Structure 1
Amino acid sequence: MRVLVVGSGAREHALLLALSRDPGVTALMCAPGNAGIAKIAEQHPVDIASGEAVASLAKKLDADLVIIGPEVPLVLGVADAVRSAGISCFGPSAAAARIEGSKAFAKDVMAAAGVRTAHSEVIDNPAKLDEALDRFGPNWVVKDDGLAAGKGVVVTTDRDTARDHAAELLENGHPVLLESFLDGPEVSLFCVVDGETVVPLLPAQDHKRVGDGDTGPNTGGMGAYTPLPWLPDETVARIVDEVVMPVAAELVARGCAFTGLLYAGLAIGKDGPAVVEFNCRFGDPETQAVLALLKSPLGQLLNAAATGTLDQVAPLEWYDGSAVTVVVAAEYYPAPPRTGDVIIGSDGDGILHAGTKMVEGQVVSAGGRVLSIVGVGPDLTAARDDAYGKIATVKLPGSHYRKDIGLAAVEGRITVN
């Protein structure tokens, strides 16, 4: 099977590494890729937002399966174009990708499916903002209703901060979603979905804020770990039964069946799981940790979903132990980052590239999140030690990373009511 992966981040690097372990995958290609991906896959330039360009490239490369990593091409309908060209594609249609592309659509789907989530209101008129803010709090959750690369959310106890963020979004022409605050630890559960067939992967926990102790602004994700020692197995089954399967069935009923990776972000409170958000693709940085423990062949799993045979796949097998991802970010990130610096120690097992490129034979930084460092071990403590040991070998001027990925779980500070 010849596989083309669309994207250029550490998520795509992780997908390609896992695909390289699948004996059924005979050729690996990536468009456009990055400096690290170049070592394991053919790379091809492409406008990932153009369905015509991606489909044309897939045909030229004689790809049997196209896997679309980022959310933007999915929301724009690139998967539709690939399938229209007669090529199997792992990724939802534009209609189904609205589960991430429009939070208002996602809320409507969840209401119809009877799925627990936060109370919300969409505000598109600045004149109505103050009155709406008065209906929320003391913790305000303010979101961009569209795509924001994980950085369009402000959670604050300061009303002025909430108002400023909402006003800025509205000024830029973006509708605002106000939500009630959901308590409890957060969980990311990835599910491979083919219509109403749902296959869950290992649950993970992302660390969104830039600083240790969950301080500072939200980012696209500074690290993750899996599995979650504090999360009972029955809770994962409950998420599948009460959240993912009803949403998948509702999308089928609406004529936009989901084919691809449905990502449920949840808060686990005293009343059980409640949805914070849905994404229509593999999450970053959770993917890097989750796929490090996958023993089953990834290419065959994703191809089964893409070809409508997911219900025939054998139960997934996983390696024992834990995996941790720590993101090494460029100076100033999540503000506009410093780029163009040479990276020392960018090769090696468990060092996945995100914002990198090759310049005159050297790997240099080319984005905000530059590398994802993946550690594995028999338990979470060992996996953390492995990850941070690898980070010590990497040198990037001005870079920063969180020192506490997975630490609260190791110290037993996360509990489910």
Structure 2
Amino acid sequence: MKVLLVGRGGREHSIAMKLYESGQVNQIYAAPGNGGISDIAVCADIDEMNIDGLAAFAVEKAIDLTIVGPENPLVAGITNKFHEAGLKIFAPTKQAAMLEGSKRYAKDFMQKYDIPTAAYASFTRAVDAKAYINKIGAPVVVKADGLAGGKGVVVAHTIVEACLAVDRFLTDSGSPQTQPSIVIEECLEGRELSLMAFVHENNVFPMLPARDYKRAFDHDQGPNTGGMGAYAPVEDVSSESLDEIIETVLQKAADGIMREGCPFTGILYAGLMMTEEGPKVIEFNARFGDPETEVVLPLLKNDLLQVLLDVLDGKDPQLSWEPKHCAGVVLASAGYPEAYEKGILLPDLTPEDRAIVVHAGTRKTADGIVSDGGRVLLAGSKGDTLTQAISGAYGWLKRHIQTDRFFYRGDIGSTAAKADSPV
């Protein structure tokens, strides 16, 4: 089969590496891809948002299946366009992708279908939002309604901080995160958890639970990012809690979106907080999470292409997982998530020993691989224990990265590793 992978980040490189293992894949195309993806796929210089161009390319190359990584083309309707052209695609429609595309829609949806989540209110006027914040106090969470590349959420610990976030998201014309509306939520306390599932209509097939780290610096300090590292599986969440999440969150969401008249096909991601009252949804994503994908897919024993085909055909893919741990640490450009430099020549990125090197913001040039984004790569590793997996990831980084033009967190998985055990 010929497969088209849409996207350019670490998530897409991880998907490409898994597809490359499949004996059923004859050719992988990626649009636009990155420096690492280009080693195992033919990269086409087509932007993710050039939906007409992607559809034309899929027709020209007789693509058998298209997989979409990032959220922006999903919300823009790439799946609808491909369906109109008679092309097979594993991704939700524009309507179904609104679970990620609009925080306000998602919160209203969860309330309607009794999916556990934080209390909230929505606003279009800054004056009303600030009056609400002054009434309920801090801490509070302020969210831009639409897509913001992982930078549309502020966990405000003071009323002043919350009001500044309101201005940034509602009235600051110079901010890329400015939106027509915002959501203000109660601040949940507990341990975060990510759970992704392969979904087609009412069928939900959950993956391993993962935990990611969104703050830029150690000990969860600094601004929110797209993710600075992750590990899987998560040992401090019981099988009973996972069953509860599958039943009350993932299955309810799949059933609800069916009743809304826009069945979901693709990856449904639930970002959760494990509170004293039980699991509550922080957010839904309508695609593979990043960087969770980079630590979950390496543990999947199945042929990924066959999984996707089975799910599309309404069959149980019988997911099987390695009895190991996987951890990944993101190498980011100095300055990220704010302004940063591109085009920095990277050292040898060979993944020796147990290491897994996943390219994110990289580009191949005549001189070698150079940085081309805020999150440059993820160094990962598998191990019989989480400690082994973490050691492998950090060991690779320490051997290969010796420059102050990049940085990475030094505490990914460290708390969980203290209570370490084999899977």
**Pair in the same fold by TM > 0.5:** yes
1:335 aligned onto 2:338: yes
How far apart in 2 are the matches of 1:80 and 1:156? 38
1:269 aligned onto 2:269: no
Give 1:202's match in structure 2, choosing from 202, 208, 218: 208
- Percentage of pairs with the same residue: 39
For 1:345, the equivalent position in structure 2 comes to 348
Kindly state the Cα deviation for residue 93 of structure 1 after the two structures are TM-superposed: 0.3
For 1:292, the equivalent position in structure 2 comes to 298
For 1:53, the equivalent position in structure 2 comes to 53
How far apart in 1 are the matches of 2:362 and 2:47? 18
Q: Answer whether contact 1:51 1:80 (CA < 8 A) is retained.
A: no
How far apart in 2 are the matches of 1:47 and 1:303? 26
Distance 1:136 1:60, change over 3 A: farther
Q: Answer whether contact 1:88 1:303 (CA < 8 A) is retained.
A: no
Q: Answer whether contact 1:189 1:200 (CA < 8 A) is retained.
A: yes
Kindly state the Cα deviation for residue 270 of structure 1 after the two structures are TM-superposed: 1.2
1:364-403 equivalences under 5 Å are 364-395=370-401, 396-403=403-410
1:6-405 equivalences under 5 Å are 6-171=6-171, 172=173, 173-174=178-179, 175-305=181-311, 307=312, 309-310=313-314, 312-348=315-351, 350-395=356-401, 396-405=403-412
Kindly state the Cα deviation for residue 397 of structure 1 after the two structures are TM-superposed: 4.6
Kindly state the Cα deviation for residue 314 of structure 1 after the two structures are TM-superposed: 3.7
Q: Answer whether contact 2:130 2:166 (CA < 8 A) is retained.
A: no
SS at match of 2:80: helix
Kindly state the Cα deviation for residue 351 of structure 1 after the two structures are TM-superposed: 0.8
Kindly state the Cα deviation for residue 157 of structure 1 after the two structures are TM-superposed: 1.2
SS at match of 1:393: helix
How far apart in 1 are the matches of 2:350 and 2:82? 33
Kindly state the Cα deviation for residue 54 of structure 1 after the two structures are TM-superposed: 1.1
Kindly state the Cα deviation for residue 300 of structure 1 after the two structures are TM-superposed: 1.1
For 2:414, the equivalent position in structure 1 comes to 407
How far apart in 2 are the matches of 1:299 and 1:313? 14
How far apart in 1 are the matches of 2:80 and 2:332? 34
How far apart in 2 are the matches of 1:393 and 1:44? 33
How far apart in 1 are the matches of 2:358 and 2:325? 17
Letter in structure 2 aligned against 1:398: R
Kindly state the Cα deviation for residue 220 of structure 1 after the two structures are TM-superposed: 0.4
The count of corresponding residues between Structure 1 and Structure 2 is 410
How far apart in 1 are the matches of 2:278 and 2:263? 27
Structure 2's unaligned 5+ residue stretches are: none
SS at match of 1:116: coil
SS at match of 1:45: coil
How far apart in 1 are the matches of 2:91 and 2:121? 29
1:355-375 CA-partner distances (Å, limit 9, x unpaired): 111222311111100011111
SS at match of 2:267: strand
How far apart in 2 are the matches of 1:200 and 1:243? 11
Dislocated runs of 4+, deviation >3 Å: none
Aligned Cα RMSD in Å? 1.3
Letter in structure 2 aligned against 1:198: V
SS at match of 2:407: coil
Kindly state the Cα deviation for residue 304 of structure 1 after the two structures are TM-superposed: 2.8
1:188-218 CA-partner distances (Å, limit 9, x unpaired): 0001110010000000001000011111110
Letter in structure 2 aligned against 1:321: K
SS at match of 1:135: helix
Q: Answer whether contact 1:33 1:43 (CA < 8 A) is retained.
A: yes
Normalising by structure 2, what TM-score? 0.94
How far apart in 1 are the matches of 2:118 and 2:64? 41
1:293-350 CA-partner distances (Å, limit 9, x unpaired): 0001111112233x3x23x234211111100010000011111111111000223251
